[in-house]
Structure 1
Amino acid sequence: MAGWEGVRERAVHERRRAVTDAGLAAVFALTPVYVAYRIAQSWGGGAWWFGCAAGTVVCVIALLRRGNRARAAAAGLAVATAAVLTARLAHLPAEPGPAMALALAVLTGSAVRALPWRRAGAVAAGGLALAVLAFATSAAHATVAELYGLAWLAAAGLGLGTRLLHARRRAAMERVRRDERLRLARELHDVVAHHVTSVVLQTQAARLVARRSPDRVDVCLAGIEAAGSDALAGARRVVGLLRDGAPSPESAAPAPAAVSHRDDRIGELVRRFTGPPVRFRLPEGEPGWPPEVATTVYRIVQEALTNVSRHAPHARSVSVTVTEDDDTIAVEVADDAPPAPARRLRRGGAGGGSWGGVRGGGYGLIGMRERLDALGGSLTAGPRPQRDGWAVRATLPLPARGR
């Protein structure tokens, strides 16, 4: 599931880049033509061709910036510097003109946003030096230099702001992942403690049985073996995530046996929920889930209900459904709130509208995905098809029941 989400994210990103470049290309194509027309009207003769040619060159460089942002910015600044000096010596209209100023702003903003700090600072300083040069060489046409100075200031500010915003988001995601791994480490302790306690208790019972009913010792030893196997399997699943950040085939393998039962806190969680009325359905009987599976199911329901209370205030009802077959547990939490643009921004994110991103929230769902990855499960979230509301759906493999 995560792999397909990554493919969708990259596809959306590539489409956005293509649309952005197409829009820039259209602007870059029209601006030099318009500037040349105005220069031809005001200056007459062939004064328009130099500014048009120089602006077009820098615009083309700006469109090709993604290949190497540092070299593209350096090339654009070099062409602009040469154009400023040539225009001064040849008594041509002052540079950089509007087309060149726009292209240089794109190059500067792109470099400040994406390049390492030293290179980004060098590009910004080069743009500032060009602004000073433009002022010094076009005293009679200060408006041209002011135009470029404002464009440089806007580009540097926008690039820096975007850079800091992306850094903040990355830091937030890393902090969430780190905190979730710490929680998983604590749960690892709980899982091991549970199974080890079971081993200790069954060992004590075996000692008593050995004295009173020696023929039942094999049954006790089989229970001890199963509890020990469950402890190892649970530890490997969680340690696999903590060590590598993604479950390995061995760590994701289901436990050979399950010795604990369903976490009845789900019913209590639903009863304590203060939002819309909740209809919930759980598997009948005692399915015998391992503690790490029961805890994950509980956390999924808890986080999904929290999202409903925060982001779906107009929901009329919520349904919580947990189903189980021979080898899979499925959890779905769905509400019927009507769609709203603000809600989409808060609950939307990467992956074509899933809640897995961090735009305006969704950190709890990142933690849910971490938990499910540790158990070899998957998570999806988004609008319900052909009806109002949103739904969280999670599936995870169920450990084998045999002993």
Structure 2
Amino acid sequence: MTFYKFAVGVVLAIAMIAVLTLSALVFSSRDFQFGVAQVAPATNGLVSFRRLAEADAQITQIEAETSGPRGDLLEVEQRIEALDNEAASAEATANEARAQIVGGIAQVEENADVAPAQSAAADMSAQALSSRINTLASRPGLSATDQQQVAALTAQVNQLAQQEEAVDETGAERATLAARQRLISGQVAESNGRILALQQSVVPGTDSFGRIRSEAQSLQALSPLGASAYLAQGHPALLSTMLVLLMGALGSLLYLFPAYLNRPAPVTMAEIAVRLIFGMCAALAFYVLANAAIAGFSIGAGVTQATTSSLLNPFTVSLVGIVAGVLSEDIAKWIQDRGRGIFTQGQISSGAVGAAQAPPPPEAAPTGGLVNNNAL
């Protein structure tokens, strides 16, 4: 290996490292914008990191100031939930006891051949059941078994009365807690309104402020010298264009590295520089044509709003740039052929003159400069 080839390899390695570093920075910034545009379309992918930090600090301060009422509200809600569970359990137990008492009363009335004055389901409160049991107890001629049954029913009714009293006390406590909950909720709702206003001032039309803030902090933490965070605040159209150019350069390097290793003709310094520039030019041209075609189809289909740069997936943009960089000569030739076809379409020969003259030979594609690698 000659020293010149070694120097060319060093230049290729440095160029690859530089392109990869810049591509990673721009891609991470553009991907952040794309994610923001997905969760908050009103932002168009643009958020101010400074305003995010300021709003987050103010929100933290508001939450700290209202931590007391928030804690009280949480305790009240938990206590109300516990009381509701206790009341439901007590009510279920009371209903089961009522059913047993009513069944016992019906059995005694049947044994004593007594027609009930009212339906057993008419009034099943402890007071009404106690009245029916007392009526049975005062009736003469009850058997010893029925008297024992009446005594047991009396004890059950007394227990049922205690359960109903406990349920009433639980209801009263719950009413007191509900009034306190409404009072504290008003204080917390006022602070929540201030927090929501701060969030909407930075990220309008969404409730994903926390997610965007955490992703912005992660991007800042891993951004070398804050480069990615700085780029993420640029316009999506500019970042997409930068990404296409860098990916075009990356595609050119993907072409040059195998040529450096395997091609008999050595890669020169001039070829590296020209190939990088040519790859970026081809990537940008192909990117513009692709977007123009998409816009044309959108207008033809009656779509009122074409796709904006903030909605372009950075992976798709990168794919366009890399493919155009690797196939830069083919892309240039393809664009040339399509352009010639557009401008020559619809031309007709002028009568007999055109019929008499032989058609001119097709013009060969230019072979100098960038398209011909041998010229390098």
TM bin, normalised by shorter chain, reads under 0.3
Q: TM-score, normalised by structure 1?
A: 0.23
Higher relative contact order (CA 8 A, sep 6+): 2
Q: TM-score, normalised by structure 2?
A: 0.24
Q: Which has the larger radius of gyration?
A: 2
